[in-house]
Structure 1
Amino acid sequence: MSSTGTARRRAKPARPPWRRPALVALGVAALLVVGWAVWGGMEARAAAGHVRAATAEVSAVRAAVASGNLSAASRATEQAALATADARAAVDSPPLALASHLPGKAGEVVAAVRTTVAAVDAAVGAGAMPAVKAGERALSSGGAIRADGTLDPAGIADLAVSLEPAAAAARDAQVRAASVDAAGLPPGLSERVRQAQTGVAELSGGLSRAQALLTALPVVLGGDGPRTYLVAFQNTAELRPTGGIIGTWALLDVNDGRLSLSDAGSNDDLERLSGPVRDLGPEYRALYPAEQVSYSQNVGLSPHFPYAAQLLVDLWTAQGRPAPDGVIAVDPAGLAPLLRGAGTVEVPDGPSVTADTVSDVVLRQAYEVFGDDNAARKNYLTALVGSAFSRGLGGGAWDTSRLVSLGEAVSGGHVQLWTADPAQQEALEKGGAAGALPAPEEDAAGVYLTNISASKLDYYLRESVRVTGACNASPEITIELTNDAPAEIPYYVSTKVEGQAPTTELLTIALYLPPGRTVTSMTVDGQIADIEVLPERGWSVNRLAVAVPRGAPVQIVATTAGLATPITSVHTQPLVHDASVAAQVCS
């Protein structure tokens, strides 16, 4: 310190000439990184918003199709395509495109999102949108439906061809979506990617099935010459794995898309065969003895409808009748679409029916009205079939709404078709209209019920199937059956097995599992049950009989072992009340 008290300041070192520009550069770089990240975050949020918008539009598409409004479906599909295109543009923005190439987990996650969004965009833009527009054109311009309301096989063939590119694009999108390993993603994102993969797969499968079915229909509808089909009406109040016993029959003549009913009768006309039925192989013989399946009401003991159709043809031709070109199985839920827009159908000597009441009339009211007069009831049901077909096929023209309702009945198994033409049968199976038992897959199972009480109690049956097990190698399959029958029922509806209460239902349950998966134990209301295990068409069939009293539900629990693949889908048969199925969703 100087004598004047003033502090001596230390001289500051000179600032290097490069330091200020470097600091400025670092600051600019930091701002760029932050800006790039903010940009990427904004694009990611924008993509999520576009996906949500697309999801809402897809829901609108489904609602419009279900109501038969293809114009509204087309508009909603366009909006969904715009939203998925915007989502793809967002994930293809420079920040996210660059981030997808970063090393490590962060890059993998961004790449997975970009691939998934691209697959969804392709499925909607190149698959769903052109398919819906092609359907709208075909059904609104007289391409598939003539001015008089009859179906045009040539127009349907053109529609099938126009769907080929859309179905191919959807299949490519499914492959692209499936390439993403959802299990390796963060939990919340993993579930969303799986949902997208499922949605793309469902769209792809639906378009492929539609295209295959439309390819087969022109010939099935008599586009190259007249066809005659034996129509078997299944009574789902007495269950068989294909649907139900055959109560009535009809002959349906088809020529160039024009349909007419030429004859009808009851199952009394289908007498027992005097000789053996055709041999469907050793597996079939072991499961279903010939003395059972030589009776018309038992041709549907296997869930594979082509078997039932061929046996029914045997029954038909054994009585000296000409072989039909095919067999169509219809239950009351499948008959209902024919009555859409037909109003009330008057039936001689019995209750009238509408599209909304036909199931209840056939499966419940008829037994109450006619009581023990079985002959009168069968005559009434035969007349009902004739009246319903005449009114439905002749009294009202086909339109989009009725075709959509019929399509839903086909997809639900309420209408099944077999043809003697192998090429057409293959197309029908690909189109999901043949009632064929699906090929076994590692993530699938099947549950099929057979009425063994000679009752009509299955009108009151409720079925739920639940798969649990934390997605490990030993899931449990819980089948719950509830019998809601009233305390008082007509004798014809009641159980015919001695020693059982009239309202107690007796069923055989068949649990179908794929190769590599076995049942380690099966219980009925907590008690160990004996099961029979036999093969059918690649599946392992695990069978047991159960009694289902009215009121309290019965629980059948099967513990499985073997495959590490979770069970994510369960096949079931057509029922009066659709089965409730809750399969595993793993993340």
Structure 2
Amino acid sequence: MLVAGVGFGGWLGFEAVEAKSNLYQARASAAEAKDAFAQGDAEAAAKWVGEAQSHAQLARDSTHSLPWNIASRVPWLGSPFETGQQISDVVLGLVDDVLQPSQQVGAAISPDRLLEGNRLNVTLLRDAGPQLSDISAAAAKLDGEAQAIAEPTYLSALRDARTQLQAQVSDILSTIHNTALAARLAPSMMGADGPRTYFMGFQTNAEARGTGGLLGAFGILHVDNGIATVDDLSANDQINGPFTPIDLGAEYTEQYGYTNPTTDSRNSNQSSHFPYAAQIWKSMWAQESGMNVDGAIAIDPVALSYVLRAVGAVAMPDGEVITKDNVVELTESTAYSRFPTDQRARQMYLQDIANAVVKKMTGPVESPHHLLEALGQAIRERRIAVWSSSPSEQKILEETPLAHAIPTDPAPYAEIVINNLGGDKLDYYLRREIEYTADGCDGDTRMSTVTVGLTNIAKNEPLPDYVANSAGLLPQLPVKAPRGTMFTSVRLLATNGAELVSVLANGQRVAAFENVERGHPSFEVQVAIPPGQSGELSFRLSEPTAPGAARVPIQPLLDTVTPTISVPECTN
């Protein structure tokens, strides 16, 4: 019996070493395969998928061997062995049911095949749609199985492996889900069924608005059978009305109506809910031109810098070269010092730059992979927003990161929305920090805090009046502040049902304007930040203990913010 026990232990130990090694190799190869898919490298993807499949099968064989099956049935002591079996099952399913079919369809719709010169092959993408939907469904099933893997009663290394696998499967699911949605949506929106037109707004982050920045310039994007062209851009003063307002609901009117957002393009995108701005732009353009566009798109100079990184620099008629490194500074800062008083010349300069970049982007593309990678980064940073006037298309869009729609579900939520109150261009110098913390999941409600740090990095140096004078403030307001002071509306959209306990500005209690937007309570504080100074707002809340992961959408301004989130995820 002693010899048998030692032999059993040795056999089990051998299988454990093999399982650990092969699981590690399978997960690493799966990650490499995902990266190869993203880069459009079909050959590398096939190689890594093959290696992942081999290691995943060996790991499953080990975790379902005779000694492992026996050990997994021992009460309490068998818990890690049961977890190991579940992990190996999920890893093998990930390779067989998701990565292998993804590799096959990925080779068929690689970037070099999807983008042919300046045309998106909408037929190829549409044909891949059903298979991508099947793969997405398989990935969703595996994600559910991964989240259901039992937590081992001991062995922290196995507990960590479980957590890492769950994150990896969720990440792969997100990528495949978005790709499947694109295959369903892009062909029709890119003119596979007939020509489409879109209002394309260029947002100026130097003057913050809810969707990003002030609508500075615009053009009309035409797409037909995957080929995109853009009319020469115009300045926002070419949308000058007068306009008949549109009705976006009582809540919207209550919060924004006093600024005439549906008839004044400068105030058209104060809400961070992009469908509101898009509908306003569509209405204004229809009244201005008689054209009813099929949707709207927003983009900013930072996104243009990513595009230039992919497609290369552009040369202006006067010889100035616009690159990925200078396009943001030129359009958000230099233009105002170069043309401090001649607004028309400045507008033409900015339009010429945007025109040159857009024409480069919609022309023949030498590296489709690099362009798609650049657009992907801009989408992840919420620097591109899209809305469709087709309800069915918009419903699909709102499942993607492109919609920029404020959700209406009850999951924990904290969105900080900045709007420039001064009519200046000082938000070029704004830097933000955002933190969202909450207590545990006991009880129907819990305390939470959303903290916002704001810094004005403008230096004590002369700035053009157009940048620093805050001419947008009402003249009757008795405001005295140093030149270059930011006057800013800071609004928190909180979890549905949250109640405000207090707001502290640099430790001092202040009042907040309270409203509701799409079911979310809205708390607004207006602040002044002198040049070179920082400030902190702290919103203390009592919010429902709602199930789901916390979300903190980041408004696309000049800086890139990674929020700090310490909110326990509760279940039903």
TM-score (norm 1): 0.86
Task: Look up the match of 2:231.
Answer: 262
Q: State the one-letter code of the partner of 1:477.
A: V
Q: Which residue of structure 2 lines up, in the alignment, with residue 229 of structure 1?
A: 198
Taking the TM superposition and a 5 Å limit, the aligned residue runs for 1:99-498 are: 99-103=71-75, 105-139=76-110, 142=113, 144-146=114-116, 148-180=117-149, 182=151, 189-276=158-245, 278-289=246-257, 291-293=259-261, 294-348=263-317, 351-397=320-366, 399-468=368-437, 471=440, 473-488=446-461, 489-496=463-470, 497=473, 498=479
Distance 1:425 1:569, change over 3 A: closer
Alignment of 1:12-91 (within 5 A): 28=1, 30-57=2-29, 60-61=32-33, 64=36, 69-91=41-63
AA at the equivalent of 2:337: E
In structure 2, what is the equivalent of residue 543 of structure 1? 524
Q: Which whole-Å CA distance do the structure 1 matches of 2:66 and 2:554 have between them? A: 48
1:241/1:450 contact within 8 Å kept:
yes
Q: Are 2:65 and 1:97 equivalent residues in the alignment?
A: no
Q: How far is the alpha carbon of 1:79 from its aligned partner?
A: 3.5
Distance across 2 between alignment mates of 1:201 and 1:301: 33
Three-state SS of the structure 2 residue aligned to 1:515 is: coil
Tell me the SS of whatever aligns to 1:319. helix
Going from structure 1 to structure 2, the CA distance change for 1:552 and 1:94 (only over 3 Å counts) comes to farther
Q: How far apart, in 2, do the equivalents of 1:63 and 1:369 lie?
A: 43
- State the Cα distance separating 1:254 from its structure 2 match: 0.9
1:53 aligned partner, one-letter code: Q
Structure 1 position 579, deviation (Å)? 0.9
Q: Which moved more, 1:488-497 or 1:68-77?
A: 68-77
Question: Shift in Å at residue 221 of structure 1?
Answer: 0.8
Structure 2 counterpart SS, 1:381: helix
Quickly say closer, same or farther: Cα 1:141–1:487, change in 2 above 3 A.
closer
Partners of 1:39 and 1:517 in 2: CA distance: 56
Is the Cα–Cα contact under 8 Å of residues 448 and 573 in structure 1 kept in the other structure?
Answer: yes
- Which digits, 9 at most, give the CA deviation of each residue in 1:25-49, with x for residues without a partner? xxx2x44334434433443344333
- What is the distance in 2 between the residues matched to 1:548 and 1:290? 24
Distance, in Å, in 1 between the alignment partners of 2:415 and 2:69 is 44
SS at 1:571 equivalent: coil
Deviation at 1:154, TM superposition (A): 0.3
Query: Which whole-Å deviations, capped at 9, do the CAs of 1:216-269 have from their partners, x for residues lacking one?
Result: 111111111111111100111211221111100011111111111223200010
Worse-superposed segment, 453-462 or 210-219? 453-462
Distance across 1 between alignment mates of 2:407 and 2:53: 32
Q: Residue 447 of structure 2 aligns to a residue in which SS?
A: coil
Q: Quote the Cα distance in structure 1 between the aligned partners of 2:316 and 2:112.
A: 35
**Cα separation, 2, equivalents of 1:283 and 1:529:** 24
Where 1:580 maps in the other structure, the secondary structure is: coil
> How many angstroms does 1:441 deviate by?
4.3
2:453–2:536: 8 Å Cα contact kept in structure 1? yes
CA contact (8 A) 1:342 1:391 kept: yes
Pair 181,452 (structure 1): closer, same or farther in 2 beyond 3 Å: farther
**1:309 Cα deviation from its structure 2 partner:** 0.2
* Letter of the 1:94 counterpart: L
Instruction: Say if 1:183 and 1:449 are closer, same or farther in 2 by CA, change over 3 A.
Output: farther
Q: Which deviations, in whole Å up to 9, do the C-alpha atoms of 1:289-340 show, x marking residues without a partner?
A: 1543121122221111111100111111222431111111111122234434
Aligned residue type for 1:531: A
What's the RMSD between the two structures over aligned residues?
2.9
Deviations 1:105-156 (A, max 9, x none): 33444333432443344234422443244223322673x233x442111011
Distance (whole Å) between structure 2 residues aligned to residue 572 and residue 72 of structure 1? 34
Structure 2 gaps, min length 5: 474-478
Contact 1:494–1:503 (Cα < 8 Å) also in 2: yes
Question: Residue 534 of structure 1: CA displacement?
Answer: 2.4
- Check whether the contact 1:58–1:80 (CA below 8 A) recurs between aligned residues: yes
Residue 324 of structure 1: SS of its match in structure 2?
coil
Max radius of gyration: which structure? 1
Moved more, 224-233 or 312-321: 312-321
Unpaired runs of 5+ residues, structure 1, are 1-27
Task: Show CA shifts across 1:441-480 (max 9, x none).
Answer: 4344322222222222222222222234564633433222
SS in 1 for 2:382: coil
Task: State the Cα distance separating 1:549 from its structure 2 match.
Answer: 3.0
Partners of 1:450 and 1:215 in 2: how far apart? 35
Measure, in 2, the Cα distance between the counterparts of 1:511 and 1:191: 35
Q: Quick one: distance in 2 between partners of 1:119 and 1:97?
A: 17
Amino acid aligned to 1:199? Q
Q: Residue by residue, what CA displacement relative to the aligned partner does 1:369-394 show, whole Å, maximum 9, x if unpaired?
A: 22222211101111122222222222
SS in 2 for 1:106: coil
Q: Distance in 2 between matches of 1:501 and 1:73?
A: 58
Which moved further from structure 2: 267-276 or 295-304?
Answer: 267-276
Q: Matched residue of 1:465: which SS?
A: strand
* Of 196-205 and 176-185, the range deviating more from structure 2: 176-185
Q: Does 1:578 align with 2:560?
A: yes
Cross-structure match for 1:10: none
Q: Which SS does the other structure have where 2:482 is aligned?
A: coil
Please report the TM-score for the alignment, with normalisation by the length of structure 2: 0.88
Contact residue 118 and residue 228 of structure 2 kept, 8 A: no
In 1, Cα distance between equivalents of 2:568 and 2:55 = 28
Q: Please say which of residues 116-125 and 154-163 is displaced more in the overlay.
A: 116-125
Give, in angstroms, the shift of residue 177 of structure 1: 1.7
Partner SS for 1:509: strand
